[in-house]
Amino acid sequence: MKTVIMGAGFASLSAACYMARAGHEVVVLEKNATPGGRARQFVRGEFRFDMGPTFYWMPDLFERFFADFGRRPQDYYRIFRLDPSYEIVFGEDDRIALPAGAEAAAALFERVEPGSGRFLERFLRSARNNYRTAVERVIFRPGLSPLELVMPQTVARLPQFVFSLGHKVRRGVRDERLRRVLEFPSLFLGAKPDKTPSFYRFMNHADMALGTWHVEGGISRVADALVQLAESLGVRIETRHPVREIVVERSRVCGVRTPQDFFDADCLISGADYHHTESLLPARLRNYSETYWRHKVFAPSAMLFYIGFRGRVGGVSHHTLFFDTSFEAHASKLYDRPGWPEKPLFYASFPSKSDPTLCPAGCETAVVLIPTAAGLTDTPDLRASYFEQVIHRMECLTGERLRERVLFSRSYAARDFVRDYNACRGNAYGLANTLSQTAFLRPKVCSRRLRNLFYTGQLTVPGPGVPTALVSGRIAAECALSRCSEAAAHKTFSYGSTLR
């Protein structure tokens, strides 16, 4: 059988591998010049920047994915654990560097606020149990029914879906800086801590116990690994092939059309933006209306700057968060009253501090990210203003003269996410993981009206993130293979079994 997959991000490449392993003839159609989706790389001379994800969390999920194909991550790339995992700057001479390991983190908490170390130990034990429940019982579910979540492990944790992460943290820790350390991972879930279900504390286990890792050469090396694996399984990847039309006959997708060619399909899996994919279908064949999408709560978009510095930058770690302004004011501009923050929080990655392969000797690479509300319109003047602000604040907080050492910079924001990824409202992280957008309440993997159309990626289950994208691809492939095997029962094919 022939499977066409739209997009070549992590979820699409994952689905392609599983479909090819099952014996399907698979072609992946990518609109951009290189595969990898948001994990593309920007190269300027000897400088290399990850354009999207920069954190490598949940290494066990990467290991599980490659093990499904008899491989290991180290067959393709090398990772090493960062210590400190990251540093949060709250002001001049006021910063917390989170050490690697749960015990070291508890000791740090205890030094800052007596009694908080014991709270963190209890909190992380619960987080570890939640992580096991999530990985073993929840995230591999296709989100087709609420009954998928009805099991002793989740019923016992029902209050954690009612109370928020922020509520739990603030009951146990008084120091505002330590609260920010525990609430920081919720940023990856795309919601305010007081809107994120407490069950998601499992992200703190991923953060403090499983650790923050770096991929030598950048996260794009993981995308390269998936491409190598997919091609070794017989997957064909066509870049610069944007899908312009999904062709439907008799309530089934029969193929897709790009500017170059028509690709017939027995099965279509879209890892492209869900809303964009549905825009290629007649309204009567879509899962969701425009009204549905207007009422969804999106995780933030982002304004990014890729900067090459002459000389090494002091006073920063590989991952540094600048929380020297009001968290509440910025969060309000993200979710309550969407708009451009006057004094934004921002995150800066200096990967060349750990990986000298990313820039020329004696230089530094930096990726600066400002979370912004989805759906905003940015301008060149706005980008220039924010660039000057973050450079000025980094100078003040690090004591380094930076502006005169900028060799070059490139900005990337909402309209670029729309142009490059067809991202709905220019989002960078998908849908916020609020209670009303969790598990079976997320957009469905299976089309309700076209039996051979399936969706994968950050807008479906299990949610945003690189390791969860690998899971999403597996879920979509399993759903597709299940339906295809049902259809195959009524046909005779010459190429053997659909499933292995």
Q: Which residue, among 452, 478, 465, 375, has the nearest Cα to 10 in the 3D structure?
A: 465
Residue 376, C-beta contacts closer than 8 angstroms, at least 6 positions apart: 301, 338, 339, 340, 414, 426
**Strand pairing of 79-81 and 213-215?**
antiparallel
Residues forming a β-bridge with 80: 214
Contact yes or no for 85/108 (Cβ under 8 A) = no
Give the pLDDT confidence score for residue 492 in this predicted structure: 37
Per-residue pLDDT of the chain (500 residues; tens, 9 = 90+): 999 999 999 999 999 999 999 999 999 999 999 999 999 999 999 999 999 999 999 999 999 999 999 999 999 999 999 999 999 999 999 999 999 999 999 999 999 999 999 999 999 999 999 999 999 888 999 999 887 777 777 767 777 777 899 999 999 999 999 999 999 877 666 778 888 889 889 999 999 999 999 999 999 999 999 999 999 999 999 999 999 999 999 999 999 999 999 999 999 999 999 999 999 999 999 999 999 999 999 999 999 999 999 999 999 999 999 999 999 899 899 988 999 999 999 999 999 999 999 999 999 999 999 999 999 999 999 999 999 999 999 999 999 999 999 999 999 999 999 999 999 999 999 998 888 898 899 999 999 999 999 999 999 999 989 999 999 999 999 999 998 776 655 443 332 333 33
How many residues can be counted in the chain? Answer: 500
Residue 214: in which H helix or E strand, if any? strand 213-215
Give the pLDDT confidence score for residue 487 in this predicted structure: 60
Fill in the amino acid letter for 42: F
d(Cα 456, Cα 440) in Å, to the nearest integer? 14
Contact yes or no for 147/153 (Cβ under 8 A) = no
Q: Residue 293 half-sphere exposure, CB side, CA atoms within 13 Å?
A: 21
Q: Which residue, among 386, 410, 276, has the nearest Cα to 333 in the 3D structure?
A: 386
d(Cα 127, Cα 133) in Å, to the nearest integer? 10
Give the pLDDT confidence score for residue 455 in this predicted structure: 98
Whether the link from the prior residue into 467 is cis, omega within 30° of 0, is: no
**Strand pairing of 363-372 and 301-310?**
antiparallel
Contact yes or no for 469/11 (Cβ under 8 A) = yes
d(Cα 102, Cα 120) in Å, to the nearest integer? 9
Give the pLDDT confidence score for residue 438 in this predicted structure: 86
Residue 236, C-beta contacts closer than 8 angstroms, at least 6 positions apart: 26, 27, 28
Give the pLDDT confidence score for residue 424 in this predicted structure: 97
Give the pLDDT confidence score for residue 146 in this predicted structure: 86
Give the pLDDT confidence score for residue 279 in this predicted structure: 98
Give the pLDDT confidence score for residue 187 in this predicted structure: 66
Residues forming a β-bridge with 41: 50
